[in-house]
């Protein structure tokens, strides 16, 4: 199964992706995690990405695509994968489709987690306290929500237009949301 998880920051994508990884036994590929690892390792790419991430903006498409291509080429991704945080705009969406075409592994489904904005702001405040992410300040969260509405929401529209989008209610207990996602996956 090759699936993309879509949803605003704080919609629970990361948590649900990890649960799906354990249940479907396919890797969870988070471009945010890949970037945070590069920042932590202090690679040139990480240094370049850090300021952009701290501001809640999108890292350049080239950088992220390069990281994604490397990760998708790894052995464990042959069985499928759960993409979390990619694609974030229509250009990334086209790049993903081209990449998957090239390796003859088309996407099965895009799952969008629907969570109202008020709840998202609350959840991110909780996460900021628990994890201390630099990009979880109220100001940055607002920037990230704006980027989502302007650049990432059209990606969901694209997947809807090609008949690959399922939308799942992301409000509720983790297990409830997880069950809804599993029920919405193609057979
Ligand atoms: P996330 O963990 O998915 O919320 O990502 C955290 C931050 O990493 C984002 O706010 C962006 O700055 C950067 N990032 C993650 N994925 C992407 C992507 N696909 N394209 C551009 N920037 C990204």
Query: CA 129 to CA 126: how far, in whole Å?
Result: 5
Of 137 and 98, the structure prediction assigns the larger pLDDT to: 98
Query: CA 39 to CA 57: how far, in whole Å?
Result: 15
- What DSSP string describes 119-182? HHHHHHHHHHHHH--GGGSHHHHHHHHHHIIIIIHHHHHHHHHTT-EEEEE--S-HHHHHHHHH
Span 65-72, mean pLDDT? Answer: 96
> Catalytic one among 127, 146, 164, 180?
127
Span 73-102, mean pLDDT? Answer: 97
Q: What is the pTM of this model?
A: 0.93
Q: What is the pLDDT of residues 13-33, one digit of tens each?
A: 999 999 999 999 999 999 999
Token reading at 93: 């969406």
Report the pLDDT value the prediction gives residue 122, as an integer from 0 to 100: 84
Q: pLDDT confidence of 135, banded at 50, 70, 90? A: confident
Task: Please report, for the chain, the start and end positions of each structural domain, with discontinuous segments joined by +.
Answer: 2-27+80-184, 31-73
**In the Cβ-directed half-sphere of 63, how many Cα atoms lie within 13 Å?**
19
Could you tell me which CATH number the domain at 2-27+80-184 has?
3.40.50.300
- Phi, psi for 141 (deg, rounded to 5): -60, -40
Q: What percent of the chain has pLDDT over 90?
A: 83
Most confident of 9-13, 64-68, 126-130: 64-68
Q: Which of 82, 85, 90, 131 has the most ligand 1 atoms within 8 A of CB, as the residue to mutate? A: 85
Q: Is 133 annotated as catalytic? A: yes
Report the pLDDT value the prediction gives residue 27, as an integer from 0 to 100: 98
Please check whether residue 138 is in contact with residue 10, taking contact to mean a CB–CB distance below 8 angstroms. no
Q: pLDDT confidence of 76, banded at 50, 70, 90? A: very high
Q: What percent of the chain has pLDDT over 70?
A: 100
Span 137-156, mean pLDDT? Answer: 92
Q: Is the CB of 185 under 6 A from ligand 1?
A: no
Q: Which of 58, 63, 71, 134 has the most ligand 1 atoms within 8 A of CB, as the residue to mutate? A: 58
Span 80-93, mean pLDDT? Answer: 98
Q: Is 144 annotated as catalytic? A: yes
Q: Is the pLDDT of residue 90 over 90?
A: yes
Q: How far is the CA of 59 from the centre of ligand 1 (A)?
A: 7
**Ligand 1 atom nearest 13 alpha carbon:** 3
Q: How far is the CA of 53 from the centre of ligand 1 (A)?
A: 7
């Amino acid at each position: 199964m090759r699936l993309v998880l879509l949803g605003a920051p704080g919609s629970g994508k990361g948590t649900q992706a990890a649960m799906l990884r354990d249940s479907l036994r396919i890797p969870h590929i988070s471009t945010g995690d890949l970037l945070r690892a590069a920042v932590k390792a202090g690679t040139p790419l990480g240094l370049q990405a850090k300021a952009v991430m701290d501001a809640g903006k999108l890292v350049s498409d080239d950088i992220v695509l390069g990281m994604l291509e490397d990760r998708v080429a790894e052995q464990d991704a042959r069985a499928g994968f759960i993409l979390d945080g990619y694609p974030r705009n229509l250009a990334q969406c086209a790049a993903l489709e081209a990449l998957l075409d090239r390796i003859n592994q088309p996407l099965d489904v895009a799952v969008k987690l629907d969570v109202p904005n008020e709840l998202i702001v609350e959840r991110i405040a909780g996460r900021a306290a628990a994890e201390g992410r630099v990009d979880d300040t109220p100001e940055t969260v607002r920037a990230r929500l704006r980027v989502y509405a302007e650049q990432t929401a059209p990606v969901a529209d694209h997947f809807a237009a090609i008949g690959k989008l399922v939308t799942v209610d992301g409000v509720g207990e983790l297990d409830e949301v997880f069950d809804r996602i599993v029920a919405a996956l193609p057979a």
